[in-house]
Amino acid sequence: VETECEKSSATTYFWYRETLDISNSISESGGLNWKMTLCLLVAWSLVGLAMIKGIQSSGKVMYFSSLFPYVVLVCFLVRGLLLRGAVDGIMHMFTPKLDKMLDPQVWREAATQVFFALGLGFGGVIAFSSYNKQDNNCHFDATLVSFINFFTSVLATLVVFAVLGFKANIMNEKCVVENAEKILGYLNTNVLSHDLIPPHVNFSHLTAKDYNEMYRVIMTVKEGHFKELGLDACLLEDELNKSVQGTGLAFIAFTEAMTHFPASPFWSVMFFLMLINLGLGSMIGTMSGITTPIIDTFKVRKEVFTVGSCIFAFVVGLIFVQRSGNYFVTMFDDYSATLPLTVVVILENIAVAWIYGTKKFMQELTEMLGFRPYQFYYYTWKYVSPICMAVLMTASIIQLGVSPPGYSAWIREEAAEKFLFYPTWAMAILISLIILASLPLPLVFILRQFHLVSDGSNALSVTYKKGRMMKDISNLEDNDETRFILSKVPSETPSPMPTHRSYLGPGSNSPMEMSSAPNGRYGSGYLLASTPE
């Protein structure tokens, strides 16, 4: 008998010892885990193959990787709702806990979840949207994606809590059986009197309700010596409160629940295929946010750069497949994305709403969409969103300073998780992660501000298609460029402004009045001259 397995559970032992072969702390590297290294290589090979032809290959893969998880989730939901105890789990899900809602950590993780789910701040959304037509209805797309994201989260959470409710009932029954055997032993050795057992209790078919009644009687009578008996309360609520997150949810709690399903190997295969697809879909989006701007800017070969990026990512990823690699995964998950992502999204918001100008942005949206966006967007972009995110970021920084960061380590000898604080060198890595992830923003700003790097604004390449006639204009001076784009010749340039009045914000002038102002390179005429090929 493996002591570690006996003290924990078969699923927990398999995850921590057989799969990860995890060390006792982040300080103990333990060398590479060859099985995990091989899996990492296969994962990055799949990403590389899916992206090697750019949008032509990744677009097709995304159809499957996006739709297949929904099929699996619906199947799991139907199966989960038919399980005993599923209702307990769902009721627990919808029961609010006010103490948790006051914790900044919960809101920080909720914000991170939204950023990850919607792809905000990563560049993936911008990269994919660059393939859209100019008159694409981005308003409809943004609304649709937000609603799909919300309902997907609710669907996935229903599945998780239905299965966890089933698991909690299984574990509670196991607890009742084990403690009932203890009570029988105490009755046979006259430690407990038979008079303490209610007459209707049947040890052959002991229910949780009967056990709780018996437990309360024994606790009341044996108040002075109750702790010595070593009896557990076996409350379903306690089992449901044993919340797990991250890898523990997918690879321990959910997997352990699936072992009790009828035809469990089928459900296991479906579940892990879904996880692979979710990971593949996420990485294609994230990698597109990295590769697309570099390929477009420096005109490097798509295939070569994609393969090179995947090889580089695999090499960097070797830090995660050491025996202590899971602790680095936790560190990166908790700190490399959360705070920098919030900073990136706040600065994106400020850049559009305050520097570029919400009125100008609203005007251009009106021209692209053909209708006026709601006033609601104006106020949320300019005031609500930046304030909410700034409060969230401030709370995160304060919490980071007040409570030292740590991680849950698996201690082999105890066969249990133990919270440990990060050592000094790990703290240095953690802070470096946050700084490195945020560094490109001020760095590129300084380089462009002092003209050390060209921002591409002094060159324009526009192609107009009027029947068979094509005109290519490059490297125009500001005045020539404006004169060309805002040309008065009706055959070359359509009227730059829509005929209807658009909402541009409080106290704004009409679009026609604004068009008379010198708008230069970024003016409305640029967007309306024609659709660039």
| Integer Cα distance of 88 and 64 in angstroms | 33
Two tokens, residue 311: 């090889």
Return all residues near 215 (Cβ < 8 A) that are at least 6 apart.
179, 231, 233, 234
Look at residues 75, 26, 83 and name the one whose alpha carbon lies nearest to residue 319. Answer: 26
Q: At what angle do helices 34-51 and 264-298 cross, to 10 degrees?
A: 60
Closest to 317 measured CA to CA, from 330, 333, 328, 302: 328
Tell whether 454 is in a known binding site: no
Tokens representing 234? 């076996």
Task: Say how far apart CA 505 and CA 359 lie, in whole Å.
Answer: 6
Choice among 27-36, 220-229, 287-296, 477-486 with the minimum mean pLDDT? 477-486
Compute the C-alpha angle 125/351/382, nearest 5°: 95
Q: How far apart, in Å, do the first and last CA atoms of the chain sit?
A: 70
Say if residues 140 and 369 touch (Cβ distance below 8 Å).
no
Cα–Cα distance for residue pair 23/412, rounded to 1 Å = 8
Rounded-to-integer distance, Cα 281 and Cα 265, Å:
24
- The identity of residue 61, as a single letter, is V
- Closest by CA to 503, choosing from 342, 402, 343, 379, is 379
DSSP SS3 for 301: coil
DSSP-based helix, strand, coil % in the chain, nearest 5: 65, 5, 30
| Confidence check: pLDDT of 25 > 90 | yes
Distance CA 123, CA 121 (A): 6
| Residue 278 is assigned to a ligand binding site | yes
DSSP 423-471: PHHHHHHHHHHHHHHHTHHHHHHHHHHTTSS--STT---EEEEETTEEE
Residues 6+ apart with CB under 8 A from 442: none
Its pTM stands at 0.73
Question: Residue 282 annotated as binding?
Answer: yes
**What does the pLDDT read at residue 14?**
93
Radius of gyration for the alpha carbons in the chain, expressed in angstroms and rounded: 30
DSSP three-state, residue 119: coil
b/e per residue 181-209 (b: at least 16 CB within 10 A): eebeebeeeeebeeeebeeebeeeebeee
Where do we find the tokens 């008996």? 229
In sequence order, which residues have a C-beta less than 8 Å from that of residue 98 and are 6 or more positions away?
A: none
Q: Is the pLDDT of residue 449 over 60?
A: yes
Calpha distance 47→69 (Å, rounded): 17
**pLDDT tens digits, residue range 397-423?**
887 788 888 899 999 999 888 999 999
Cross-strand bridge partners of residue 103: none
Quote the pLDDT of residue 422: 93
> Between the ranges 126-135, 190-199, 302-311, where is the mean pLDDT highest?
302-311
Binning pLDDT at 50, 70 and 90, where does residue 482 land?
A: very low
Query: pLDDT band at 16, cuts 50/70/90?
Result: very high
Query: What is the spatial distance between Cα 251 and Cα 154, in angstroms, rounded to a whole number?
Result: 21
Percentage, residues of the chain above pLDDT 70: 83
Q: Is the pLDDT of residue 480 over 70?
A: no
Residue 466 reports pLDDT greater than 50: no
Calculate mean pLDDT across residues 104-115: 80
Mean pLDDT of 146-156: 92
Averaged over 231-257, what is the pLDDT?
82
Contact 292, 73 (CB under 8 A): no
Count CA atoms within 13 Å of residue 317 on its CB side.
16
**What is the overall mean pLDDT for the chain?**
81
- Please say if the pLDDT value at position 181 is more than 80: yes
